[in-house]
Structure 1
Amino acid sequence: MNISGIDHIELYVGDAQQSAYYFGSAFGLEVGGQGGPETGLTGQRSLLMVQGEVRMLLTSGLYADHSATEYVHRHGDGVAVVAMRVEDAAASFEALVRRGAEPISPPKTYSDDTSSVIVAEVAGFGDVIHRLVQRNGEGFLPGAIEMTEREPAEDPMFNKIDHLAICVPARQLQATSEFYQQVYGFAEIFTEYIEVAGQGMNSVVVQSPSGEVTFTLIEPDTQRRAGQIDDFLQWHAGAGVQHVALITDDIVSTVDRLGGRGVRFLTTPAAYYRSLEDRVGAVDAPIGELSRLGILVDRDHWGQLLQIFTESTHVRRTLFIEVIERRGARTFGSGNIKALYEAKEREMVHAPTPMAADPDPEPMEV
Structure 2
Amino acid sequence: MDIRSIDHIELFVGDARQAAFYFGTALGFRLCGQGGPETGLGGQRSLLLRQADIRMVLTSGLTAEHRASAYVQRHGDGIAVVALEVDDAAGAYAELVGRGATPVTPPTTFTGADAEVVTAEVAGFGDVLHRLVQRRGDRRDFLPGAFESAEPAGGADGLLAEIDHLAICVPPGQLDATVAHYERVFGFAQIFTEHIEVAGQAMNSTVVQSPSGRVTLVLLEPDRGHRPGQIDAFLSEHAGAGVQHLGLRTDDIVTAVGALRERGVRFAGTPGAYYDDLERRVGPVDAPLDRLRELSILVDRDHGGQLLQIFTESMHVRRTLFLELIERRGALTFGSGNIKALYEAKERELAAAGATPAVVAGTAQGVGA
TM-score, normalisation: structure 2: 0.92
Greater CA drift, 150-159 or 249-258: 150-159
**Aligned equivalents of 1:249, 1:113: Cα separation in 2:** 36
Question: In the superposition, relative to structure 1, how do residues 154 and 129 fare at CA in structure 2: closer, same or farther (>3 Å)?
Answer: closer
**Aligned equivalents of 2:152, 2:236: Cα separation in 1:** 41
**Aligned equivalents of 2:183, 2:155: Cα separation in 1:** 37
Greater CA drift, 145-154 or 134-143: 145-154
Question: In the superposition, relative to structure 1, how do residues 236 and 41 fare at CA in structure 2: closer, same or farther (>3 Å)?
Answer: same
**Aligned equivalents of 1:232, 1:182: Cα separation in 2:** 27
Greater CA drift, 325-334 or 36-45: 325-334
What is the match of residue 206 of structure 2? 204
Question: In the superposition, relative to structure 1, how do residues 176 and 152 fare at CA in structure 2: closer, same or farther (>3 Å)?
Answer: farther
Number of residue pairs matched by the alignment = 348
CA deviation after TM superposition for structure 1 residue 154, in Å: 3.8
Question: In the superposition, relative to structure 1, how do residues 71 and 229 fare at CA in structure 2: closer, same or farther (>3 Å)?
Answer: same
**Aligned equivalents of 1:344, 1:185: Cα separation in 2:** 38
What is the match of residue 355 of structure 2? none
Residue number among 243, 253, 256 corresponding to 1:254 in the alignment = 256
Identity within the alignment, %: 64
CA deviation after TM superposition for structure 1 residue 345, in Å: 2.8
CA deviation after TM superposition for structure 1 residue 142, in Å: 0.7
**Aligned equivalents of 1:282, 1:236: Cα separation in 2:** 40
Residue number among 139, 142, 150 corresponding to 1:140 in the alignment = 142
- SS of corresponding position for 1:70: helix
Counterpart amino acid of 1:200?
Answer: A
What is the match of residue 317 of structure 1? 319
Matched, 1:282 2:279: no
Aligned pairs for 1:1-366 (under 5 A) are: 1-136=1-136, 137-138=138-139, 139-150=141-152, 153-338=155-340, 345=362
Question: In the superposition, relative to structure 1, how do residues 153 and 335 fare at CA in structure 2: closer, same or farther (>3 Å)?
Answer: farther
- SS of corresponding position for 1:195: strand
CA deviation after TM superposition for structure 1 residue 346, in Å: 5.2
**Aligned equivalents of 2:153, 2:65: Cα separation in 1:** 37
- SS of corresponding position for 1:229: helix
- SS of corresponding position for 1:345: coil
Question: In the superposition, relative to structure 1, how do residues 305 and 176 fare at CA in structure 2: closer, same or farther (>3 Å)?
Answer: same
CA contact (8 A) 1:122 1:130 kept: yes
Question: In the superposition, relative to structure 1, how do residues 344 and 107 fare at CA in structure 2: closer, same or farther (>3 Å)?
Answer: farther
Cα displacement string for residues 92-121 of structure 1 (whole angstroms, at most 9, x for unaligned residues): 000000000000001001111011100000
Counterpart amino acid of 1:74?
Answer: R
**Aligned equivalents of 1:48, 1:319: Cα separation in 2:** 19
TM-score, normalisation: structure 1: 0.93
User: What are structure 1's unaligned runs of at least 5 residues?
Assistant: 349-366
CA contact (8 A) 1:51 1:153 kept: no
Cα displacement string for residues 224-276 of structure 1 (whole angstroms, at most 9, x for unaligned residues): 01111101000000000000010110000000000000000001111111111
User: What are structure 2's unaligned runs of at least 5 residues?
Assistant: 347-359
**Aligned equivalents of 1:347, 1:210: Cα separation in 2:** 32
Counterpart amino acid of 2:85?
Answer: R
CA contact (8 A) 2:51 2:157 kept: no
**Aligned equivalents of 2:78, 2:336: Cα separation in 1:** 24
Greater CA drift, 240-249 or 337-346: 337-346
**Aligned equivalents of 2:341, 2:76: Cα separation in 1:** 27
